[in-house]
């Protein structure tokens, strides 16, 4: 959930984006009850607890490039091989970042004050004391909706007025890296990025800069930034920023890729239509990442194991490939590497991607990626709309509400949709704030974050909703088996079989009591 795709991958796959056909729903019904009955909360929690133990043994983190992530890779690999999958650890290099000690941000004058802060990934190392200069177009007071583009253009920063100067810029409008690059170009020695001030964007904010920057970059809350800017109305303000970080431009990490055994693959009818089911395995450095994304990892690992236990892997129409991505928190680097490393022929065999990045948020909502763009955002490649309906139809059959979430490429489905591959998935919510309307529908607490421990040390085994795991875990199992077993596909083919399938689907949903989905999610 870190960034939109740019650079080499976009160039590699740009030619695949010319698809313009508009598909119609063609997926037929698949009875997924046995798999959903087997994919239990206890099964998922077993894996989540194992990831927590790994974090406990490795300084409280499972971030890519650190020993806790390598131990997580070994754990997942062992579990998948025990279930009979052919597992590959795909190594790749990435720019590694780690904060060695807590950063600081304090006001030296006119009033000594310590501010809560944290460091952006790929910040530079340093100790800077200097006058603070706000960007020219910070939006204060904040508008109800995001509107800031501060720092996105070089002219948004006045030239640094002194040898040691610190820029202060608002979140919004462009990547954090762009703001940092523009501040460096204007001569600043450190950068503070404060939150935008809209609902859900008020607290201390941090993120990734995508690659090493030459100056310290730290975060600040909206209220603290406003307090500093108000003091500037009566005279200069001097701040001190310190960061103690490690940057390694060439650290090795891994994706874990699990394919069907050759024996099971031989029985698959459509071998050139691979369904990739993915979740990122790494945490942020600040914590163990048991919801983000131990929950998605535990979910798809359990699905993989139970598909093997039930011998469903021997009866598939399309091959399934389970993928556990590395360095997602550094900018979707694992999934981006995977897609870019494929030949054109290999990439053409990827039929669809399902992505599960956080499915256990304690104050959750059942978010479904908006594949058709009907909620006002971008739509995905043709077929993404059908994947969306697999989830929404399933939830409807269970008497459970769901709602769309932006299909904006901020998680590991991003490289797939950039390559023109249909994608979809589920999301239980991160730092966004639950509304009153959502609390009425889903329960939980309005006015609080979906995950109050998002990207923090408190994202532990206690930071999971078993209801969310149950409901979204079942939906993930249903979609995985539906895509891999359905005899009809994501696109209309005009055949008699496809028409019969559409008719059968319409009939099934007109009579929910006899639906093949059953009542499992509500009963368990």
Q: How far apart are CA 219 and CA 193, in angstroms?
A: 5
Q: Give, in degrees to the nearest 5, the angle at Cα 57 between 56 and 61.
A: 60
Structure tokens at 45: 């929690």
Residue owning tokens 């954090």:
176
Q: How far apart are CA 348 and CA 217, in angstroms?
A: 41
Find out whether 167 and 133 touch, Cβ atoms under 8 Å: yes
Find out whether 245 and 97 touch, Cβ atoms under 8 Å: yes
Structure tokens at 75: 């754990």
Find out whether 209 and 217 touch, Cβ atoms under 8 Å: yes
Please name the residues in contact with 419: beta carbons below 8 A apart, sequence gap of 6 or more.
9, 13, 16, 17, 339, 347, 350
Please name the residues in contact with 14: beta carbons below 8 A apart, sequence gap of 6 or more.
none
DSSP assignment of 379-399: --STTHHHHHHHHHHHHHHTT
Candidate list 70, 273, 328, 329, residue with the active-site label: 328
User: Using omega within 30 degrees of 0 as the cis cutoff, is the peptide bond preceding 419 cis?
Assistant: no
DSSP assignment of 190-208: EEEEE---STT--S----B
Find out whether 428 and 411 touch, Cβ atoms under 8 Å: no
328 is catalytic: yes
Structure tokens at 346: 């290999």
- According to DSSP, the β-strands at 126-134 and 113-115 are unpaired
DSSP assignment of 257-324: EEE--HHHHHT-S-TT-EEEEEEE----TTS--TTTTHHHHHHHHHHHHHHHHTTGGGS-SS-EEEEE
- According to DSSP, the β-strands at 165-170 and 190-194 are parallel
Structure tokens at 463: 């930071």
Distances (CA, A) of 451 to 45, 297, 341, 456: 18, 17, 34, 10
Please name the residues in contact with 102: beta carbons below 8 A apart, sequence gap of 6 or more.
none
Q: Which residues are catalytic?
A: 328
């Amino acid at each position: 959930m870190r960034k939109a795709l740019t650079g080499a991958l976009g160039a590699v796959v740009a030619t695949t984006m010319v698809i313009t056909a508009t598909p119609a729903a063609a997926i037929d019904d698949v009875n997924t009850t046995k798999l959903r009955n087997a994919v239990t909360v206890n099964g998922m929690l077993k894996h989540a607890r194992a990831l927590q133990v790994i974090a406990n043994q490795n300084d409280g983190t499972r971030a890519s490039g650190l020993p806790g992530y390598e131990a997580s890779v070994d754990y997942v690999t062992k579990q998948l091989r025990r279930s009979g999958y052919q597992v590959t650890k795909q190594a790749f290099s990435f720019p590694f970042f780690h904060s060695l000690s807590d950063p600081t941000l304090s006001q030296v004058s006119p009033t000594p004050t310590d501010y809560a802060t944290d460091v952006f990934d790929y910040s530079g190392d340093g100790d800077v004391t200097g006058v603070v200069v706000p960007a020219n177009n910070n939006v204060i007071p904040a508008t109800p909706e995001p509107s800031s583009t501060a720092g996105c253009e070089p002219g948004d920063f006045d030239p640094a007025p002194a040898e040691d100067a610190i820029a202060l810029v608002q979140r919004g409008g462009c990547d954090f890296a762009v703001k940092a690059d523009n501040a460096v170009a204007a001569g600043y020695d450190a950068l503070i990025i404060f939150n935008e001030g809209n609902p859900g964007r008020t607290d201390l904010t941090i993120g990734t800069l995508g690659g090493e920057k030459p100056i310290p970059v730290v975060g600040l809350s909206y209220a603290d930034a406003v307090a500093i800017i108000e003091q500037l109305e009566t005279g200069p303000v001097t701040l001190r920023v310190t960061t103690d970080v490690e940057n390694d431009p060439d650290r090795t990490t891994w994706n874990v890729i699990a394919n069907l055994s050759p024996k099971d693959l031989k029985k698959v009818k459509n071998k050139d239509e691979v369904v990739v089911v993915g979740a990122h395995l790494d945490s942020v450095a600040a914590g163990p990442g048991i919801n983000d994304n131990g929950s998605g990892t535990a979910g798809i690992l359990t699905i993989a194991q139970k598909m093997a236990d039930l011998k469903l892997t021997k009866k598939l129409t399309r091959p399934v490939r389970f993928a556990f991505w590395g360095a997602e928190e550094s900018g979707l680097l694992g999934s981006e590497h995977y897609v870019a490393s494929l030949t054109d022929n290999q990439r053409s065999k990827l039929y669809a991607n399902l992505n599960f990045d956080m499915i256990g948020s304690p104050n959750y909502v059942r978010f479904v990626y908006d594949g058709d763009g009907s909620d006002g955002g971008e739509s995905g490649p043709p077929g993404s709309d059908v994947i969306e309906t697999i989830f929404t139809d399933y939830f409807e059959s269970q008497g459970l509400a769901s709602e769309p979430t932006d299909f904006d490429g901020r998680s590991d489905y991003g490289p797939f949709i950039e390559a023109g591959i249909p994608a979809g998935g589920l999301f239980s919510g991160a730092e966004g704030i639950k509304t009153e309307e959502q609390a009425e529908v889903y329960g939980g607490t309005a006015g609080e974050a979906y995950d109050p421990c998002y990207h923090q040390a408190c994202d532990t085994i206690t930071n999971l909703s078993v209801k969310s795991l149950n409901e979204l875990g079942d939906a993930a199992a249903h979609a995985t088996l539906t895509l891999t077993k359905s005899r009809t596909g994501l696109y209309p083919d005009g055949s008699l079989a496809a028409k019969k399938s559409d008719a059968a689907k319409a009939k099934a949903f007109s009579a929910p009591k006899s639906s093949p989905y059953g009542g499992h999610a509500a009963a368990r």
